[in-house]
């Protein structure tokens, strides 16, 4: 079959100098009797030399033809593409058209320009408009008179702060952050015990303000939250302060720009702020867990908006939390803890580890209540200046933990109801025992924070710890 019997498609844009350069080629091909369809991305009046031009300002044809560069010339035989060339390379065009000569006055080669269909943000828009993207979730149409942010509030989706409206485009971009099938079910979310698909997680991550690259962290955090060990239902329902806290370890933390340094437990970092929020929004929206409903917290704590930070592994003299918990140093993980708020510990004078441990132990003793033991677990977030005291003395994390455990032994007799004129206390049967403040493995240590300040943070937890309630859970973050 001769070249002239085949059909050719040419995609151009007027603002591309190479496209304007090859205008004479169009005339020459038409005169030679080629079957030629021209699509122009920006100006249906271009090229003027053509007898007819297809208007592709919608970029539908460019999307369907997978155009990345203009000009592109595609050769079809029986409606099937057999070859294409991009830019202007005369020898390649001659080969494709099976001609001996073409537009002799033109230079032999000029590179093309980027197709408008691959402008930043455009591939996703075109995929949504012309591709086969579908969602399982119901579409909620916002009336013209409504403000979309207010409409999200009105439907009860918000934790109190504004939400990013979960448009189909934003959700599609979010889903691109994970390799998982949008229809995959991550787990069953309490209290309504509703299945949460990757798509539902993505919708809530959009609303929380996450970037697509945070989605795998959100999914891992949700997986951890939905384990029996973490006991999310009870944690939600308790009258106690606590909510899920997320500690991120491994390369993902740096890759997504998480804060493990100054103000790590505070505001101002997008990943820290939105990953924890996304988890809470999933509990709220998919699980139906809301304050005043199944969330019965007496006071709550500000961390229930979002409580997520990274461990500063790079500058730490200790193995990371995730390595302690059995993961490889290069694994990315999330560890969830049923956490209360932050209690500061100041010690600006201790320069030896024993003294600093005594400060820590004294401060840790008041978690929950100074007369109650073996209730919540705890996280001690050691700042760089405090860690330096242990580093200088070559103390491992295990040594610190062992020293604290020893310092936090209490005779049962001191903890009895009535002692100190305080009715609260431990049950009578422990009177002659020696009690540890925390359960074995109940004390966890991570390093985070800014380089100035001889302060560390105690993060107490839900009184119902261990098998009775919630234990920390670590999950690997997978793409």
Partner 1 sequence: MNEVVLDPTAQLNSAARSLLPRLSALEGATIGLLDINKPRGDVLLDRIEALFVERGANIKRYSKPTMTRVAPVAVLQQIATECDAVVEALAD
Chain residues in the site for partner 1 (CB under 8 A):
135, 137-144, 148, 151-152, 154-155, 157, 165-168, 171, 189, 192, 194-195, 199-200, 203-204, 207, 281, 285-288
Q: 215 by DSSP, 3-state: which?
A: helix
Respond yes or no on whether the N-terminal peptide bond of residue 26 is cis (omega within 30° of 0): no
* Residue 151 or 374 with smaller CB distance to partner 1: 151
* Residue 152 or 258 with smaller CB distance to partner 1: 152
* Residue 287 or 353 with smaller CB distance to partner 1: 287
- For residue 226, give both structure tokens: 């939905």
* Residue 281 or 477 with smaller CB distance to partner 1: 281
In the complex, what is the shortest distance from the CB of residue 176 to partner 1, in angstroms, rounded to a whole number? 15
Q: List, in order, residues 6 or more apart from 141 with CB less than 8 Å away.
A: none
* Residue 154 or 228 with smaller CB distance to partner 1: 154
- What are residue 245's DSSP bridge partners? 337
In the complex, what is the shortest distance from the CB of residue 129 to partner 1, in angstroms, rounded to a whole number? 12
In the complex, what is the shortest distance from the CB of residue 429 to partner 1, in angstroms, rounded to a whole number? 45
- Among 234, 237, 233, which residue's Cα sits nearest to residue 194? 233
Cβ atoms of 204 and 281 within 8 Å: the answer is yes
Q: Taking the alpha carbons of 229, 183, 200, 475 in that order, is the dihedral positive or negative?
A: positive
* Residue 245 or 278 with smaller CB distance to partner 1: 278
In the complex, what is the shortest distance from the CB of residue 145 to partner 1, in angstroms, rounded to a whole number? 10
Measured CA to CA, the distance from residue 174 to residue 205 in angstroms comes to: 8
* Residue 288 or 450 with smaller CB distance to partner 1: 288
* Residue 249 or 285 with smaller CB distance to partner 1: 285
- For residue 243, give both structure tokens: 């909510």
The residue assigned the tokens 């949460």 is 196
In the complex, what is the shortest distance from the CB of residue 349 to partner 1, in angstroms, rounded to a whole number? 51
Measured CA to CA, the distance from residue 312 to residue 318 in angstroms comes to: 10
In the complex, what is the shortest distance from the CB of residue 229 to partner 1, in angstroms, rounded to a whole number? 23
Torsion of the alpha carbons at 23, 28, 29 and 33, rounded to the nearest 10: 140
Measured CA to CA, the distance from residue 95 to residue 409 in angstroms comes to: 86
In the complex, what is the shortest distance from the CB of residue 234 to partner 1, in angstroms, rounded to a whole number? 20
In the complex, what is the shortest distance from the CB of residue 152 to partner 1, in angstroms, rounded to a whole number? 7
- What are residue 410's DSSP bridge partners? 435
Measured CA to CA, the distance from residue 214 to residue 221 in angstroms comes to: 11
* Residue 257 or 288 with smaller CB distance to partner 1: 288
In the complex, what is the shortest distance from the CB of residue 151 to partner 1, in angstroms, rounded to a whole number? 8
* Residue 100 or 141 with smaller CB distance to partner 1: 141
DSSP string, 408-436: TEEEGGGGSTTGGG-S----GGGTTSEEE
Say how many CA atoms lie within 13 Å of 282 toward its Cβ: 38
What region does 39 belong to: left with phi over 0, alpha with psi -120 to 50, or beta?
Answer: beta
In the complex, what is the shortest distance from the CB of residue 221 to partner 1, in angstroms, rounded to a whole number? 17
Measured CA to CA, the distance from residue 117 to residue 178 in angstroms comes to: 23
Q: 372 by DSSP, 3-state: which?
A: coil
């Amino acid at each position: 079959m001769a070249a002239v019997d085949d059909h050719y498609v040419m995609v151009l844009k007027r603002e591309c100098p190479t496209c304007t350069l090859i205008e004479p080629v169009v005339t020459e091909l038409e005169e030679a009797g080629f079957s030629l369809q021209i699509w122009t991305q920006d100006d249906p009046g271009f090229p003027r030399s053509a007898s007819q031009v297809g208007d592709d300002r919608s970029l539908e044809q460019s999307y369907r033809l997978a155009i990345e560069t203009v000009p592109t010339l595609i050769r079809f035989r029986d409606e099937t593409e057999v070859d294409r060339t991009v830019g202007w390379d005369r020898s390649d065009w001659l080969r494709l058209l099976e001609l001996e000569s073409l537009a002799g006055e033109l230079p032999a080669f000029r590179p093309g320009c980027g197709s408008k269909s691959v402008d930043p943000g455009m591939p996703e828009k075109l995929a949504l408009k012309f591709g086969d993207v579908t969602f399982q979730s119901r579409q909620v149409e916002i009336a013209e008179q409504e403000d979309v942010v207010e409409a999200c509030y009105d439907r009860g989706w918000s934790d109190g702060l504004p939400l990013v409206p979960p448009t189909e485009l934003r959700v599609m971009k979010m889903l691109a952050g994970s390799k998982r099938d949008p229809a995959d079910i991550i787990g069953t979310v309490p209290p309504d015990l509703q299945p949460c698909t990757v798509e539902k997680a993505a919708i809530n991550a959009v609303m929380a303000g996450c970037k697509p690259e945070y989605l795998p962290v959100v999914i891992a955090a949700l997986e951890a939250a939905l384990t029996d060990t973490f006991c999310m239902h009870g944690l939600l329902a308790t009258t106690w302060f606590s909510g899920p806290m997320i500690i991120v370890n491994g390369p993902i933390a740096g890759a997504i720009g998480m804060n493990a340094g100054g103000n790590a437990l505070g505001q101002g970092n997008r990943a820290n702020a939105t990953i924890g929020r996304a988890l809470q929004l999933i509990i709220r929206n998919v699980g139906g867990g809301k304050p005043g409903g199944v969330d019965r917290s007496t006071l709550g704590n500000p961390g229930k908006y979002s409580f997520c930070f990274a461990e500063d592994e790079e500058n730490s003299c200790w193995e990371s939390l995730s390595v302690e918990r059995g993961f490889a140093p290069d694994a990315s993980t999330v560890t969830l803890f049923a956490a209360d708020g932050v209690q500061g510990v100041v010690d600006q004078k201790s320069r030896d580890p024993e003294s600093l441990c005594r400060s820590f132990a004294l401060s840790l003793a008041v978690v929950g209540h100074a007369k109650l033991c073996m209730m919540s677990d705890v996280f001690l977030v050691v700042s760089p200046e405090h860690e330096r005291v242990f580093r200088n003395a070559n103390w491992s994390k295990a040594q610190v933990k062992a020293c604290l455990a020893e310092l936090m032994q209490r005779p049962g007799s001191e903890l009895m109801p009535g002692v100190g004129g305080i009715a609260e206390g431990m049950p009578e049967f422990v009177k002659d025992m020696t009690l540890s403040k925390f359960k074995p493995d109940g004390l966890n240590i991570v390093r985070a924070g800014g380089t100035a300040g001889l302060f560390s943070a105690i993060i107490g937890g839900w009184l119902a710890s261990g098998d009775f309630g919630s234990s920390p859970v670590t999950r690997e973050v997978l793409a």
